[in-house]
Structure 1
Amino acid sequence: MDKSTLTTHQKALQINLDSQKYGTFAEIGGGQEVVRWFFKVGGAAGTVAKSISAYDMTVSDAIYGPTERYVCQERLSRMLDHEYDLLIDRLEVKRGKNTQFFVFADTVTIQGYQQRMDCHGWMGIRFQDNPMGKWNDVIIHVRFLEQERLQQQETLGILGVNLIYGAFYYNQDLVLFIESLMDNIAPGKIEIDLIDTSGHLFEKIDLRLLNLQLLVSGLTPVILFTPNGKAVQPSDLLYKKAILIERGRFEPVTNLNMEMMEVARAKFLQEPEIADAAKLEIMEITTRNLLTEMGTIDKENFIQRIELLCALKQHVLISNYAEFYEISTYLNRFTKNLIGLVLGIPLLQELFNEKYYSYVEGGILEAMGRLFKKKIKLYVYPTFDPQTSKLITAENLEIKGPIKHIYNYLLESNHLIPLHPINPPLKSFSPKEVTEYIKSGDPRWKELVPIRVVEIIREKKYFGYKELEEASSNH
């Protein structure tokens, strides 16, 4: 049967009727909504070894051990460890030769008697792909966007069944697996912003690409990587931080990119309102800036950009947000502190060009209102104009039309912060030029990027460097 035709009922029943699948369900925080499906469809005795829901915190700590938070990946991992060890210890001798054991677990917070703003959870499955085989893990983080408790519980149950079914039947096609997580769940009900895997089935999987697939498949608008290249659940890093974020192509990251962040940082740290706040710097790439001319994402190119930014100790955020007001709205989910957006004059000119807001009902006025309704400031780096041989800054930039009055207001009210580097740029270049220099063998590219980036590009032959060297050696 084609996977697109499978209902949640059909998935749960197929697992129940598969005599090899047998395991434990451990659910905390949202009811026993996942295991309920297996009881509901019939035949659960062939699948459910145990169902447990340790709601009381003291009881939960006694079983799984204490953690700083009850809804976190560490708690989920402890649940999987504990329940899987028990399952194997008690049943492997009796039926291990003919059984693929599994443990499904979730720890979530959903709407309750008291209204919650942030409803989310961790969900995972530990499973054998063959009887007596080693275990494999799939873990996801989900954010509930619905506002009613019963709706969230229903979605939780469906998602859990999808995860279990996908782990067993789609583990050889992870794109299909990821997209199947949304089976029978309407768009706008949840976001899945992190996936983590381990075990021999997934040894060759690049988790950076797997998390990128969440974005490509529309399961999340954002993925976030730490400087060690590991994907993380965004709110864990963003929560209550003062955030400085720079958007760019970073193909590759250049000296100018780093200079912009450095000069903006100096201004950002002078803001008195964030003196006592934890701070976070992020480099952002939009999916639009990842697209090739064919409209697809070059995964190898994506990995190269991520690796170079991480080599410079940067946090990297990939988003589906084309407009600045969209990314600022997303960040405001997790922090009420100041958000600083670092940009150059060319991007600032686009920001104040009305033609880019034709799809917004209220046009550029609505877009500006959304962007600046919270604590947002733009830190604007100057650019060199080769036509006039002058430096264009936020102060002398000419904005045409009535929108110039809004621009002047934002400038005078310190929502637009002009940056004045000690050594302002004396020429301009585009990121594409740097890539072309690398491909064509023009040595000027080495002067435009950080030393560490030069070393990695030469060592790993990134951005066409390998093809160039081979071509040169053949002449």
Structure 2
Amino acid sequence: MEREILSTKQKALIINLDDTKYGTFAEIGGGQEVARAFFQAGGASGTIAKTISAYDKTYSDYYYDSKDKERYVSEARLKKMLSHEYNEMLSILAEKARPDQRFFVFANTVETISFKKDNQGNGWLGVKFELSQRGAPNEVVVHVRLKENDSLLQQQTLGTLGVNLIWACYNHTSTPNTFLQSLLDNLDTDRVEITMARMTGPDLQWLDNRLLGVQLVKNGMTPAVMFDRYGNVQQPSDMLYRKNVLAFRGSFRPITYVNLDMLKTSYAIFKTDEDYSRDSTISLCEITLNNLMSEGEFHERDFLDRVDLLNHMGQHVMISKFREYYKLVDYFGRFKLKKLRIVIGYPTFEKVFDPVYYTDLRGEILEAFGSLFPNNMKFYIYPMLDKSTGNLLHSQDLNLSPELRCLYDYLLSTRKIIDIKNAKKEWLSITSNEVLRLMQEGDRRWEAMVPKHVREIVKQRCLFDYKCDD
């Protein structure tokens, strides 16, 4: 049955008329539009205990105990706002609260577009809320990217989004995908992008936040999500800001010796850059949403297994909707990276030079390559084994037309393309599809094609339809 979408005013009024919910609204940087929505709906005295906007930085630091040099629009600041306001509610109101009353705090810290329109509007929104009277609180945090080109429009969007978030916390926590979809009720993705969502608390322990992330991409609410090497959902701009990034796209089903060699050899080249710094460099394994879909369906367990294996290798993980590499590079351009390096296999790189993939662009392949090769971007090309000759094929072996050969020569001479010369030739015949086939047939030859720790985890947990011994 199709879900009924209530108006923002209807949601606020229903919450206002439910006198078991009582809370504080703390909003910084984008007006007080969420509290305003509840006031305008009517009956707000039954819902609103306090509203505050500590807009001045000194006031904000005073109330929210900022001894660290953190950004004001950050998850850390949002969490301090939620904790401070919730603890204050308990200390002032707990003894006087009715037995059926449940406290909540809504908070946001936002940067809207400036008068000069030279910044990107974004913000953090969160709710700390009780689902049972005086029960331990749960917490939901989201990060948003505000896409409208006017600060007043962005404030209106924040008001609607805040009401949707509070509504979802009390009505949709048992159905996470509905929770996410409801955040855009009476909004659309032309106005706002939900780049990250995280849900924690005693009533939400069953939920895996990694699945929330991939559902955001699947729902078209954001083009990509990221997880750190520990499997935690991360806001991409925080994870990538001023970093050197080595990105590697693959299926990783499962991880093979070839995957491992591609990472090791490309990272070794990256380390030779003059200003290389280990602390400011991360490697990132990317899986496209299309790769996660089997016959049009998304299999949660398969996705989580792949992320777990990559995390065991110490890798950060990215899930994206980008099929074309130029769109992936364009996305990375949001985050002020120092350097971007993408490791790519010879067969895939051959497709990058195929004009058929760019016919939908007015400038065709030249337009795509303009996005694909910004100043800070280079491709590392991993060779392919020519089975007929036993030789390795490098980028210079591409069969290109004369006009594309000129383009290739320019990119090669400017070191936008760098061949990996020290690949392990004995591993180049290994493919994930072959490993998967052998694994599912019970043929133990697959065990010699994957790293030891991958082999052990696959066998212990019966991953990828591996036939475990009873």
TM-score by length of 2: 0.95
AA of the residue aligned to 2:141 = I
AA of the residue aligned to 1:350 = K
AA of the residue aligned to 2:296 = G
Deviations 1:273-311 (A, max 9, x none): 65699222111111111111x211111110111000000
Aligned length: 468
CA contact (8 A) 1:274 1:338 kept: no
AA of the residue aligned to 1:335 = K
| Corresponding residue for residue 154 of structure 2 | 152
The alignment partner of 1:202 has SS state of: coil
| Corresponding residue for residue 46 of structure 1 | 46
The alignment partner of 1:200 has SS state of: coil
CA contact (8 A) 1:386 1:427 kept: no
Deviations 1:431-472 (A, max 9, x none): 11111121112222211111111111111111112x3534xx
AA of the residue aligned to 1:333 = R
| Corresponding residue for residue 473 of structure 1 | none
| Corresponding residue for residue 324 of structure 1 | 325
Structure 1 residue 403: Cα displacement: 2.2
- Between the aligned partners of 1:46 and 1:252, the Cα distance in structure 2 is 55
- Report whether the alignment pairs 1:173 with 2:195: no
| Corresponding residue for residue 90 of structure 1 | 92
- Between the aligned partners of 1:296 and 1:271, the Cα distance in structure 2 is 42
- Between the aligned partners of 2:362 and 2:253, the Cα distance in structure 1 is 33
| Corresponding residue for residue 340 of structure 2 | 339
Unmatched 5+ stretches in structure 2? none
| Corresponding residue for residue 278 of structure 1 | 280
- Report whether the alignment pairs 1:34 with 2:38: no
CA RMSD of aligned residues (A): 1.9
CA contact (8 A) 1:28 1:106 kept: yes
- Between the aligned partners of 1:355 and 1:387, the Cα distance in structure 2 is 27
The alignment partner of 2:254 has SS state of: coil
Structure 1 residue 116: Cα displacement: 4.2
Structure 1 residue 337: Cα displacement: 2.0
Deviations 1:396-447 (A, max 9, x none): 2222463232122212221111110163346423211111121112222211
- Between the aligned partners of 1:84 and 1:427, the Cα distance in structure 2 is 57
Structure 1 residue 54: Cα displacement: 0.8
| Corresponding residue for residue 236 of structure 2 | 234
The alignment partner of 1:201 has SS state of: coil
The alignment partner of 1:203 has SS state of: coil
Taking structure 1 as reference, are residues 113 and 367 closer, same or farther at Cα in structure 2, changes over 3 Å only?
closer
- Report whether the alignment pairs 1:129 with 2:104: no
Structure 1 residue 113: Cα displacement: 4.1
* Identity value in percent: 39
**Alignment partner for residue 267 of structure 2, among 259, 265, 268?**
265
| Corresponding residue for residue 193 of structure 1 | 195
| Corresponding residue for residue 62 of structure 2 | 62
- Between the aligned partners of 1:447 and 1:276, the Cα distance in structure 2 is 31
Structure 1 residue 365: Cα displacement: 2.2
Deviations 1:4-51 (A, max 9, x none): 431111111111111211110011111101111011121111111100
| Corresponding residue for residue 376 of structure 1 | 377
CA contact (8 A) 1:385 1:427 kept: no
The alignment partner of 1:143 has SS state of: strand
The alignment partner of 1:272 has SS state of: coil
Structure 1 residue 100: Cα displacement: 1.8
The range that moved more, 303-312 or 456-465, is 456-465
- Report whether the alignment pairs 1:367 with 2:373: no
Unmatched 5+ stretches in structure 1? 471-475
- Between the aligned partners of 2:382 and 2:253, the Cα distance in structure 1 is 19
The alignment partner of 1:183 has SS state of: coil
- Between the aligned partners of 1:291 and 1:361, the Cα distance in structure 2 is 30
Taking structure 1 as reference, are residues 463 and 270 closer, same or farther at Cα in structure 2, changes over 3 Å only?
same
